[in-house]
Amino acid sequence: MNLTPLRVGFVPLLDMAPIVIAQEMGFAQAEGLKLDLRRAPSWSSLRDMLLWGQVEAAHMLAPLPVAMALGLGGAVARLDILQVMSINGDVIGVSQDLAQRLRNVGHEFGFSDARRARDDLGKAATGPLRIGVPFPFSTHVELVTYWLRDAAIAFELCTIPPPRMADALAAGEVDAFCVGEPWGSVAVELGAGTLLLPSRAIWAVAPEKVLAARHDWVSENPAQTGRLMRAVWRAAKWLCVPGNRLIASEILARPEFVNAPVEVLDRALRGEMVISPQGEFRHVPDMIRFFDGATSFPWRSQAAWFAVQLAARHGLHPGRSIEAAKAICRTDLYRQNLRAAGADLPGASEKLEGSLHHATAVASERGQMILAPDAFFDGQIFDSSRKPR
């Protein structure tokens, strides 16, 4: 069979799994595609590769296309969010020195209570905290900023590429970090840090990575876009089968992909986290999610939440920012391309964010859609349809 080559960029992280699995387990081939996976050394490079046509699609930080839609950070072309590739999957970790100070104020590293962790961090910090994040436009930045916004903790964010995060913590360049797996667990393995929270403790369904493509490419290549979306969606479905996790870890561990130990990659996939060099163990349900709970649907309300946070920090008009963010979420293409593949489709393209405390059935075409709890740690509810003041 003649396969159409398609270049897809990625940054080495566990959450790139759907595109690697799409290629390695034959889902791309079934759609007549051969994915040429291009590893990018940094998020800015991957963004440029996508903007300047060196790749057709990419594994991308969810807030990055949103920031570009808002005109932030050198927007030279519009990027579309085709679908969400992963939810959750980041960890917040602290240096061994800060971990000791946290233990001294009585913190027990329960690894679930964001409010408690924040309060104890305020007691343990002796000066402004330097917190490493992978990129200025990232779920990591939005979650950390949201988490610490009302706390009396002075902090400064420092951009550090994920694979360097453990070294930066060990070298004392930063006191803490928020990074995608496996790089947090790698820091634990190296004895450089202790994990304080999974990102889901701040927002239980934070979209982490999306499948992004240039808007003009998507318009000119509707068939290829659909084939790519189906291949990635089926890969995500495959990833949600527990029996496939180890195979996934083994493929991802290869040097050309994430280049990290299988055993370390496997922890987040199973939600069985080792949080300290002493080997303390925590079970985290939904540590990272690729498929169930309508994960892959590009909810306009989730992009809107990022837009509101970004607009507030950069002095932009909130209402216009929300509209710009919603416009790049291609819920139309998702419905059109994935209906036939068997995806259940929600009745609405946006929802209240933060209102579900239990798994809840919602209106959908097949009537099988169950949304996972999506609460924010502070109990806020975000309504993207309400006019912001």
Give the binding range for other proteins (CB under 8 A) out of 16-24, 35-43, 195-203, 300-308: 35-43
Q: Which is nearer to other proteins, 175 or 286 (CB)?
A: 175
What is the rounded CA–CA span in Å between residue 326 and residue 204? 21
What is the rounded CA–CA span in Å between residue 60 and residue 19? 11
Q: Which residues contact 272 (CB under 8 A, 6 or more apart)?
A: 281, 282, 283, 284
Give the binding range for other proteins (CB under 8 A) out of 151-159, 244-252, 254-262, 296-304: 151-159
Q: Which residues contact 273 (CB under 8 A, 6 or more apart)?
A: 91, 111, 185, 195, 198, 267, 281, 282, 283, 284, 287
Q: Which is nearer to other proteins, 39 or 335 (CB)?
A: 39
Q: Among 66, 114, 168, 371, indicate the residue that binds other proteins (CB under 8 A).
A: 168
Give the binding range for other proteins (CB under 8 A) out of 23-31, 69-77, 143-151, 238-246: 69-77
Q: Among 22, 24, 31, 43, indicate the residue that binds other proteins (CB under 8 A).
A: 43
Peptide bond connecting 161 to the previous residue in cis, omega within 30 degrees of 0: no
Q: What are the start-end ranges of the E strands in 181-314? A: 193-198, 207-214, 272-274, 281-283, 288-289
Decide: helix, strand or coil at residue 310.
helix
Q: Among 4, 54, 96, 112, indicate the residue that binds other proteins (CB under 8 A).
A: 54
Q: How far is the CB of 43 from other proteins (least distance, A)?
A: 5
Q: Under the criterion CB under 8 A, does residue 163 sit at the interface with other proteins?
A: yes
Q: What is the dihedral of CA 84, 164, 41, 263, to 10 degrees?
A: -60
Radius of gyration of the chain (CA): 20
Q: Which of 21, 33, 55 is nearest to 265 (CA)?
A: 21
Q: How far is the CB of 265 from other proteins (least distance, A)?
A: 20
Q: Under the criterion CB under 8 A, does residue 144 sit at the interface with other proteins?
A: no
Q: Which is nearer to other proteins, 76 or 363 (CB)?
A: 76
Q: Under the criterion CB under 8 A, does residue 161 sit at the interface with other proteins?
A: yes
Q: Among 41, 191, 347, 379, indicate the residue that binds other proteins (CB under 8 A).
A: 41
Q: Under the criterion CB under 8 A, does residue 45 sit at the interface with other proteins?
A: yes
**Structure tokens that stand for 37 in this block:** 């996976």
Q: Among 29, 48, 292, 373, indicate the residue that binds other proteins (CB under 8 A).
A: 48
H/E stretch holding 79:
strand 79-88
- Write out the binding residues for other proteins, residues 116-135 only, by CB under 8 A: 134-135
Q: Which is nearer to other proteins, 18 or 163 (CB)?
A: 163
What is the sign of the dihedral through the CA atoms of 293, 66, 14 and 229? positive
Q: Which is nearer to other proteins, 169 or 205 (CB)?
A: 169
Q: Under the criterion CB under 8 A, does residue 382 sit at the interface with other proteins?
A: no
Contact 144, 92 (CB under 8 A): yes
DSSP 164: G
Q: Which of 252, 280, 255, 282 is nearest to 264 (CA)?
A: 252
**Structure tokens that stand for 9 in this block:** 């960029």
Q: Contacts with other proteins: how many residues (CB under 8 A)?
A: 27
Q: Under the criterion CB under 8 A, does residue 312 sit at the interface with other proteins?
A: no
Give the binding range for other proteins (CB under 8 A) out of 36-44, 256-264, 268-276, 373-381: 36-44
What is the sign of the dihedral through the CA atoms of 381, 387, 388 and 389? negative
Q: Which is nearer to other proteins, 54 or 336 (CB)?
A: 54
Residues that bind other proteins (CB under 8 A): 41-45, 48-49, 51-52, 54, 72-74, 76, 134-136, 157-161, 163-164, 168, 171, 173
